[in-house]
Amino acid sequence: MTIEPVIQIRGLINRFGRQVVHDGVDLDVMRGEVLALVGGSGTGKSVLMRTILGLNRPHAGTIELLGADVARMDANARAATQTRCGVLFQDGALFSSLSVTENVQAPMREHLRLNQGLMDELAALKISMVGLPPDAGPKRPGELSGGMRKRAGLARALALDPEIVFLDEPTAGLDPIGAAGFDSLIGDLQRSLGLTVVMVTHDLDSLIAICDRIAVLVDKKVRVGTMAEHMEDTHPWIREYFHGPRARAAFGAADRGKG
């Protein structure tokens, strides 16, 4: 695998009013890796994701996404980049006036010219891939459970088989079996499509199972490293995170799984 950054963030500063959320964030995401983004509530994980996608204008700093500067993109370049990125928002953000199938087809309809028949087939494939039953297709988002909405949002994120997917807490609200299935789905896609995944997660099992590197948001900055490197870190929050009782339980389970 070539080591080529698909996202490059330099000196990013984000603030809302007087509240500084990010203060000099540097981050590289390599092609084909699964990068987890962790941090306490309100440390700016979702804001960082939105900023990378150009949905939030940073106060300072540069972001390169797939080789183009996010701040300076024109409309065409932006559309081209968007077809190569898939996003799952924290609360699903499905279009409430469309059925699940139409939600999945929305990006195809916007960016490609495909027959309705083919779009139906591809949408059904995606819906099944994320573990939704076929009868979920014609339903409106309002008629789904929280976990099902999350899966439908993932199906929409994967609609165009993107190169990078951004997932904001994908396994929150899923049952443990579903969450494990999701981990293996991401693993499969990453291996076969060379998918790059940027994933906000608090799910330690996912971290252990599929993440190559972990970016921790502490003190308004990002510290990136592998699991082993973070285990050595002396920052109190990071210590607590990787050595707390839940982390020990998850590591224990992972070891038992291997052994």
Residues that bind Mg ion (CB under 5 A): 46, 90
Residue 226 binding target from Mg ion, other proteins, ligand ATP, none, CB below 5 to 8 Å by type: none
Q: How far is the CB of 112 from other proteins (least distance, A)?
A: 7
HSE (side-chain half, CA atoms, 13 Å) at 4 = 9
In the complex with ligand ATP, the residue whose CB is nearer, 38 or 164, is 38
Residue 85 binding target from ligand ATP, Mg ion, other proteins, none, CB below 5 to 8 Å by type: none
Q: How far is the CB of 24 from ligand ATP (least distance, A)?
A: 16
- Tell whether residue 164 is a contact of other proteins (CB under 8 A): no
In the complex with other proteins, the residue whose CB is nearer, 12 or 94, is 94
CA distance 156 to 127: 9
Count the Cβ atoms, other than its own, within 10 Å of residue 233: 16
CA distance 249 to 55: 37
Phi-psi region of 24 (alpha: psi -120 to 50; beta: other; left: phi over 0): left
CA distance 117 to 195: 27
HSE (side-chain half, CA atoms, 13 Å) at 226 = 5
Residue 68 binding target from Mg ion, other proteins, ligand ATP, none, CB below 5 to 8 Å by type: none
Instruction: Tell me which amino acid residue 139 is.
Output: K
- Tell whether residue 32 is a contact of other proteins (CB under 8 A): no
Residues lying near ligand ATP in the complex (CB under 6 A): 16, 21, 39, 41-47, 90
- Tell whether residue 114 is a contact of other proteins (CB under 8 A): yes
Select from 104, 100, 130 the least CA-distant residue to 118. Answer: 104
Q: Which residues contribute to the site for other proteins (CB under 8 A)?
A: 83, 96-97, 101, 108, 112-115, 118, 120-122, 124-129, 133-135, 137-138, 140-143, 158, 160-161, 185, 188-189, 191-194
